[in-house]
Amino acid sequence: MVYHVPAMLDESINGLNIRPNGIYVDVTFGGGGHSKEILKRLGTGKLLAFDQDEDASSNLPDDDRLTFFNQNFRFLKNNLRYAGISSVDGIIADLGVSFHQFDIPERGFSFRHDSLLDMRMNRDSSVTAARLLASLSEEELAGVFYRYGELTNSRQISRLIAEARKVAAIKTTGDLRRVLVPVTPRRYESKFSARIYQALRIAVNNEIENLKDLLSQSLEVLRKNGRLVVITYHSLEDRLVKNFMKTGNFEGEVEKDFYGNVITPFLVITRKGISPGEDEISKNPRARSARLRIAERI
């Protein structure tokens, strides 16, 4: 079974503008696709890689230029300091869920399998999707589905869950599917389910706040002319990354100096972002929603 196929591999690695003696960070190691390509282009340089999923460590290449941290990328700055590194030449983040996580039923990431509602990227965490469905208030659940799934009927969804859990705990994907039958559109069942699962996964793994932490820390550790390369898979991530690269803040609020010049920490390399070509999508349909953004530290 393939662990993961990276989207836009060549475009993203080229975007790092790798120097053979540079220091680079792959904050989403996964199957090691990006890291292995970076190592091919390094000479005496170093690569640091992060992944909070312990399964990713099975993909580590035997290369003493690579240092691996089995941690969330929000600990980027702390671990660089631990490694004696104050600044780096490039950071790459592929924010998608790996094929491995989607395809292993017991991980609970996919509605295609009838399995426990887990969705933890870090299995040492005590917070699962099932636990959130049991513990969050009806109002809190509505907020999760509205903010992270962009579902306009979030209150109906949360009301059905709140009523159903009074009778029995919602523990599996099958349980959740049955509870949501009254609000699931027949013609768009897969799209609806994908948004439900996206919302729960983001909440379980605190993905938005972790991404904000990563982006903020990138400003502190990237050297002048260092590159930030990010692949997003949904509008929430993409909006944050786009705004941050353009303005240095998450709201996209443009600041100007006394002379009217825009104050920004980055030179945006990809103004509109890059999407996979039709040839790549035909070979890897899961890449369809990917968008690549590249910026250079000023």
Q: What is the pLDDT along the chain (298 residues), one digit of tens a residue?
A: 667 889 999 999 999 999 999 999 999 999 999 999 999 999 999 999 999 999 999 999 999 999 999 999 999 999 999 999 999 999 999 998 887 787 788 898 888 888 999 999 999 999 999 999 999 999 999 999 999 999 999 999 999 999 999 999 999 999 999 999 999 998 999 999 999 999 999 999 999 999 999 999 999 999 999 999 999 999 999 999 999 999 999 999 999 888 988 889 999 999 999 999 999 999 999 899 999 999 999 9
216 domain-assigned: yes
237 domain-assigned: yes
Helix axes 138-149, 154-167, angle to 10 degrees: 140
Strand stretches in the chain, DSSP E = 23-26, 46-50, 66-69, 88-94, 222-232, 255-256, 262-263, 266-268, 291-297
228 domain-assigned: yes
Predicted pLDDT of residue 106: 82
Domain end point (choices 173, 204, 235): 204
Give Cβ neighbours of residue 260 (< 8 Å, ≥ 6 apart): none
Q: How far apart (Å, rounded) are the C-alpha atoms in residues 276 and 92?
A: 17
User: Does residue 28 share a domain with residue 82?
Assistant: yes
Tally the residues of the chain: 298
User: Does residue 175 share a domain with residue 221?
Assistant: no
Predicted pLDDT of residue 1: 61
User: Does residue 242 share a domain with residue 159?
Assistant: no
Q: What is the DSSP letter of 98?
A: P
User: Does residue 176 share a domain with residue 235?
Assistant: no
CATH number at residue 178: 1.10.150.170
User: Does residue 218 share a domain with residue 90?
Assistant: yes
Domain end point (choices 204, 237, 260): 204
User: Does residue 288 share a domain with residue 237?
Assistant: yes
Rg, Å, the chain Cα set: 20
Predicted pLDDT of residue 119: 95
169 domain-assigned: yes
Give Cβ neighbours of residue 282 (< 8 Å, ≥ 6 apart): none
Q: How many CA atoms lie within 13 A of 278 on its CB side?
A: 0
Q: What is the dihedral of CA 149, 154, 160, 163, to 10 degrees?
A: 110
Predicted pLDDT of residue 5: 86
167 domain-assigned: yes
User: Does residue 140 share a domain with residue 95?
Assistant: no
User: Does residue 122 share a domain with residue 87?
Assistant: no
247 domain-assigned: yes
User: Does residue 95 share a domain with residue 110?
Assistant: no
Predicted pLDDT of residue 125: 94
236 domain-assigned: yes
Predicted pLDDT of residue 266: 97
Q: What is the DSSP letter of 23?
A: E
Predicted pLDDT of residue 99: 78
Domain end point (choices 144, 175, 204): 204
- 204-207 long-range contacts, Cβ below 8 Å, gap at least 24? 204/119, 204/120, 204/125, 204/127, 204/128, 204/129, 204/132, 205/119, 205/120, 205/121, 205/122, 205/125, 207/95, 207/237
Is the distance from CB of 69 to CB of 49 less than 8 angstroms? Answer: yes
User: Does residue 95 share a domain with residue 33?
Assistant: yes
Query: 199: domain range?
Result: 105-204
User: Does residue 170 share a domain with residue 256?
Assistant: no
CATH number at residue 38: 3.40.50.150
User: Does residue 197 share a domain with residue 219?
Assistant: no
255 domain-assigned: yes
Please state the domain count of the chain.
2
